[in-house]
Structure 1
Amino acid sequence: MLRAETAASPDRQAAALAGLRAYQQASRGRPQRRAPARFRKGRARLRDYGHKGGGRRPLILVPSLINPPGILDLTPDVSLLRWLAAQGFHPYLLDWGSPTPADRAMDVTGHVEQLLLPLIARLGEPPVLVGYCLGGTMALAAACAAPVAGLALIAGPWRFDGFGDAARADIARLWAAAGPVCETMGAVPMEVLQSGFWRLDPQRTIAKYEAFAAMEPGSRGAQLFVAMEDWANAGAPLTYAAGRQLFEEFIAGDVTGSGAWRVGGVLADPAALSCPAIDFVSLSDRIVPAESAADLPDRRDLGAGHVGMIVGRGGRAQLWEPLAHWIGALPRST
């Protein structure tokens, strides 16, 4: 990809390779300490981030199955979870864990039914679900199948035909090439998914490494870049069934947007939600285009990108604070 995109610019190619080398050799320091697991179901955990203040409602932050959940708790001072706890809420992070060979047949639907719904039931009261990326898709389905106090989607795709014909065709070619090997393995490695993300915007992938080559080593900007790239390039594999359903039924078939996805014995339908719901949509998202949003009645359009809304400089003003205000205004369940 680098050769193809910089064929006419040897200087850019050299700069990107220098940035890649600097990223590989950067000092990482101690890894971020994970919050303790409070509830467990199979390999999944609800990690408890506590709260400052009494009696505030529980939240479950549902990350995507793709990439680790750590983007929601990237560093001690860049952590949506720790910030929400400091506002008096009681956030839990759903950690999906690493699949085992026995999980091969657990598709996306199975992750909701067998892991998320039982963990929701473990809490003492209906929680607010906050779903990010594919976690938003799954949280919406869970909110249709279980009592929850509210639902907040953050860059959550629902109408997968909104990805556009060209992107869906490119993803279909990727799956046609990788699918048979993944079926043999029983899993979809992160490398398969990451190569798909690179294809969405190869120039941006190269440009960010060019920019990193010029950063002061060890600076705050450089440390944040390394933390985000480590997150983006890591993650447990998907089970084969989850990968197949994602590529074939969601992206290619738009089973969610067409109203055909059944979870927990009910149709997952945004129009059927019985709880307050809000949809935070990025207008500059290169991974989950705005056209794929569920278009809930309460929709907030943001200027920050897919990852920037979570960890970027403008994330607190554009997402964190409006999200906390919305949750705080929800009626208390009885």
Structure 2
Amino acid sequence: MDTSPTPAFSALAQPNAASQHGPRPLPLFLNILWRETQDDPELRKRAFQGLRKYQEARRPSPPHAPPPFASAGNARLLRYGTDNGRAPVVFVPSLINPPLVLDLSSSRSMLRHMSAAGHDAYLVDWGAPLEGEGGLGLDGHVFAKLLPMLQSLPRPPILVGYCLGGNLVIGAAASMETRAVATIAAPWDFDGIPQADREQISALWQGAKPMCERLGYVPMEVLQSGFWAMDPARTIRKYAAFAETMTGSDEEHAFLAVEDWANGGPPLTYGAGLDLFEKFYAANASGLGRWRINGKRIDPAELTCPTLSIRSARDRIVPAEAAPEMAEQETLALGHVGMIVGGSARQYLWGPLSQWLCRHGG
């Protein structure tokens, strides 16, 4: 009897198609795929074809990251621009998944676009937690990592935070002189997230918490499981659609880059996971003004610099209602990731954000 794995579960033996190219955790993904396609054999077939194609596809070389300008522990501040006498612009990604979504490829890089537009642009790479950092919470990431790197800059910066990075830049701006603050799809008021989603995330955390506490960190697979649970049908449909993309096309390369990003990244510290799931999702500490950093209450309404909140009308992860209230508001009809790397990102986010940065000294 042939016991070799079926092609849908394996990758070809080539250097850039290793077995790690696959949704993580793969057993859960396959369970979702089987469940979501039980009444649609054609969808199931195309989803498996898309999965196999994803696993086997050749990846273009990723953009070469610039050298670090500053560091704090394993966190690094990467410089994409050059000193132009204006305010440095620091882009702060979420702690969840790598920072590469902001520098995804040569044609889909917000950081390289901002550098080409003349901004002295920087990107925070949080790196992997060090041994002994298991108790470092979200406040600690601001106080012990982000602030020291920002204070190495030649002049007060403009801070731009994406997703959970938006929460962290609000915390940093409350703690140091800042020229301006912009957030993109930042989850600030967790009462704006549907109750069913919050309950689902809470159940996931309660099941994973004992293991995470023993480990001292929250594996990326725990977080990915929560994202999939919010919209399992979409998770399967996008792989089915990927089966039809042209090999070597920009569309194929974009899917590979986004999915590799979404399925990669180091774990969260246990302290950051505890804050995210219990202080933010469960207790809405940020939205209710109860989140503190080094004893100081963090409230975006109390920031004295210019502020901008960019939200999405099509975001399941961070609905528009969950975004922070800032002096200026913009709502885009783009998804949580599409607004950063999608085909319309340059027109609707990168360009307008660049103009806003210029108006405020960046």
| TM value normalised by structure 2 | 0.89
Deviation of the 1:329 alpha carbon: 0.6
Give the AA of the match of 2:60: G
5+ unaligned residues in a row in structure 2: which ranges?
1-31
Query: Helix, strand or coil for the counterpart of 1:327?
Result: helix
Equivalent positions of 1:215-234 (< 5 A) are 215-234=245-264
Please name the residue that 1:17 is paired with.
48
2-structure distance, mates of 1:284, 1:11 = 28
Query: Helix, strand or coil for the counterpart of 2:132?
Result: helix
* 1:161-181 deviation line (CA, Å, top 9, x unaligned): 111210000001100111111
Give the AA of the match of 2:63: Q
5+ unaligned residues in a row in structure 1: which ranges?
none
Give the AA of the match of 1:9: D
How many corresponding residue pairs? 331
Please name the residue that 1:40 is paired with.
71
Deviation of the 1:331 alpha carbon: 4.8
Q: Is 1:151 matched with 2:151?
A: no
Question: 2:301·2:325 contact (CA, 8 Å) conserved in 1?
Answer: no
Question: 1:56·1:88 contact (CA, 8 Å) conserved in 2?
Answer: no
Q: Is 1:59 matched with 2:83?
A: no
Query: Helix, strand or coil for the counterpart of 1:103?
Result: coil
Deviation of the 1:156 alpha carbon: 0.7
Please name the residue that 1:104 is paired with.
134
Deviation of the 1:137 alpha carbon: 0.8
Give the AA of the match of 1:5: E
Please name the residue that 2:224 is paired with.
194
Query: Helix, strand or coil for the counterpart of 1:322?
Result: helix
* 1:175-228 deviation line (CA, Å, top 9, x unaligned): 011111111111111111011111111111111000001111111111111011
Give the AA of the match of 2:233: Q
Q: Is 1:27 matched with 2:27?
A: no
2-structure distance, mates of 1:331, 1:176 = 45
* 1:141-167 deviation line (CA, Å, top 9, x unaligned): 111111110000000110011112100
1-structure distance, mates of 2:331, 2:307 = 15
Give the 4+ runs in structure 1 shifted more than 3 A: none
2-structure distance, mates of 1:249, 1:112 = 16
Q: Is 1:74 matched with 2:108?
A: no
2-structure distance, mates of 1:216, 1:109 = 45
Please name the residue that 2:6 is paired with.
none
Q: Is 1:244 matched with 2:254?
A: no
Equivalent in 92, 95, 99 of residue 125 of structure 2: 95
Question: 2:75·2:145 contact (CA, 8 Å) conserved in 1?
Answer: yes
Deviation of the 1:297 alpha carbon: 2.7
* 1:3-46 deviation line (CA, Å, top 9, x unaligned): 22111111111110110110000001323311110111111110
Please name the residue that 1:124 is paired with.
154
Deviation of the 1:274 alpha carbon: 1.1
Question: 2:86·2:361 contact (CA, 8 Å) conserved in 1?
Answer: no
Deviation of the 1:275 alpha carbon: 0.7
